[in-house]
Amino acid sequence: MASSSQQQQQQPTAILSVYDKTNILDLAKGLHSAGVRLLGSGGTAKKIRDAGLPIGDVSDITKAPEMLGGRVKTLHPAVHGGILAQTDLEKDRADLAEQKIDPIDIVVCNLYPFEDTIAREPAPSIAEAVEEVDIGGVTLLRAAAKNHKRVWILTDPADYAPFLKTFTSSSGNAEATQAQRNLYALKAFTHTAQYDDAISNYFRKQYAGPSNEVVQHLPLRYGANPHQKPAQAFVTEGAMPVKALSGSPGYINLLDALNAYALVRELAAATGLAAAASFKHVSPAGAAIGVPLKPASAQAFFVADLGELSPLASAYARARGADRMSSFGDFIGLSHEVDEQTAKIISREVSDGVVAPAYSAAALEILSKKKGGKYCVLQIDPAYVPASRERREVYGITLEQGRNNAVIDPKTYFEKIVSKTQLPTDAAAAEQARLDLTVATLALKYTQSNSVCYALDGGVIGLGAGQQSRIHCTRLAGGKADNWWLRHHPRVLGLSFKKGVKRAEKSNAIDLFVEGVFDSLSPEELAASEERKDWEALFESIPEPLSAEERKAHAAQLSGVACASDAFFPFPDNVYRAARSGTSYLAAPGGSVMDEACIEAANKLGIVVCRTELRLFHH
């Protein structure tokens, strides 16, 4: 017959220490009925004891009282030795016997939400928050979860009933039982990870905010909308690579800034030239490299008065000039140190902010005065390299993927020509074609899909973003390219605005003119149109509409355009539409059953088709 000591050793032991006491009495009753010895601490033991169930205190096995105001209760070899022991190992069994420690088979524990602690009103002091950091509970959870091959760890009250069913069953499947323990261990690790995340998030704000020596936390004005507060950006390793030199970014500002800088950094690396991007709502309205402007473009982009531009100023003038309507209120990305001339161009435009690796003293002085000192000027560490994996949370679910680290090298990326027409034999013309294809392709890499981009002379001239069908991307981008080209028409460049008309008003008026918004109205409709009256009031002399013949003749002069797509063209209609906007070069991956039909259409039009073999969706 077994001795009393042997029976005691064979009796399963459970430790119960929970914040959320939902169903804890049902669990305790089930465990007691199954012959499990119950041990508890604090309020958990009291609740079970008050219900008339036998439960001992953790001090019964530690032989030590709670100390340091309750901060040390379960931190003891008798507890953690009993949990962590691998009882199938003779050495562990010998250690337990030598120290007179019984194995612990079940741990029931969950933690007080730290978010609730710091959300109290009035807000707790740092010292008060520190006192709420749980040590013993987290240690119980991690110890039991680590040894889940033997130990049951329960954190979720919803698991109590299925656990009891398995634990009390005499015909359980060992494999299924272990799978259940595995799942509960995962829940425990997740519980402690979330708890630690809440704590580190709190102390990151306290100890690594903008006023600290090491910054990991950047407060944002608000989220995607003003009612979405609080909002922040943070890193968990190293220092925050972005700092505000002036103003304060919002959530969308920072999304635009980070995507814009990633784009211009790649453009500069690929081409060896300064690069700029104008971002709105996480897609580029324009992007360009520092190729000198032709006189007509300088006039169309409102920079003719500045004379010869620096490479960076040229790049931003092109990027902003790609689609001035969409760039209104943009966030700017610049690849190089911002010079005074570039800052002057920015200071004249309606913009939300700028990000760059550095600023000259003169440039920073100009930008810091914009918007009464509230203009957002961000500096980013050019040595920063993001992690190879990226995560985002959507509707409470975390998605993870490898970062899109595909390199677009203009020397090799466009070498697979599948059309009859080849790249120009003239070296300079071929180099320009590759540069324009590179600008268009890299712009797509940071544009909401589906997307198609047209580029010319080192800059985007039309970008169709976020459309569900490819042809609508091609049409949208083509329409913007046509608008861009019409803004270079001599009659548009010669429009006579009244003194004092603002740049944004000029852009709107030019857009109405080149789009022919009023051209189809009858004399009666024109006379009744308040919009037309407001438009006419901007001019010294009211311009005559561009005729169909003028439009056609000017459109015929547009050529050499590069058009890229972030995925295959599914039908030849895309090729024909691109050709109407002066396209001479197409770049897109294959994969459509209509690939050959698209190539055949390009052959008929004399368009070069570069097969890239790389899809570039971005969301």
Please compute Rg for the chain using Cα positions.
34
Q: How far apart are CA 306 and CA 299, in angstroms?
A: 10
Q: Does the active-site annotation cover 281?
A: yes
Q: How far apart are CA 489 and CA 469, in angstroms?
A: 31
Closest by Cα among 197, 261, 254 to 221 = 254
Q: List, in sequence order, every beta strand (DSSP E) within 385-472.
A: 389-394, 397-402, 451-456, 459-465
Q: Are 224 and 255 in contact (CB under 8 A)?
A: no
Q: Are 250 and 231 in contact (CB under 8 A)?
A: yes
Q: How far apart are CA 584 and CA 421, in angstroms?
A: 10
Continuous segment of H or E residues that includes residue 583: strand 583-588
Closest by Cα among 439, 488, 483 to 460 = 439
Catalytic residue, from 29, 205, 281, 371: name it: 281
What are the distances in angstroms from CA 227 to CA 98, 428, 469?
62, 53, 33
Contacts 24+ apart (CB under 8 A), 290-296: 290/314, 290/315, 290/458, 291/315, 291/318, 291/435, 291/457, 291/458, 291/459, 293/317, 293/318, 294/457, 296/488, 296/493
Catalytic residue, from 146, 205, 243, 371: name it: 146
At 390, is the secondary structure helix, strand, or coil? strand
Q: Are 463 and 477 in contact (CB under 8 A)?
A: yes
Continuous segment of H or E residues that includes residue 288: strand 283-289
Closest by Cα among 519, 510, 506 to 491 = 510
Q: Does the active-site annotation cover 445?
A: no
| Residues with catalytic function | 146, 281
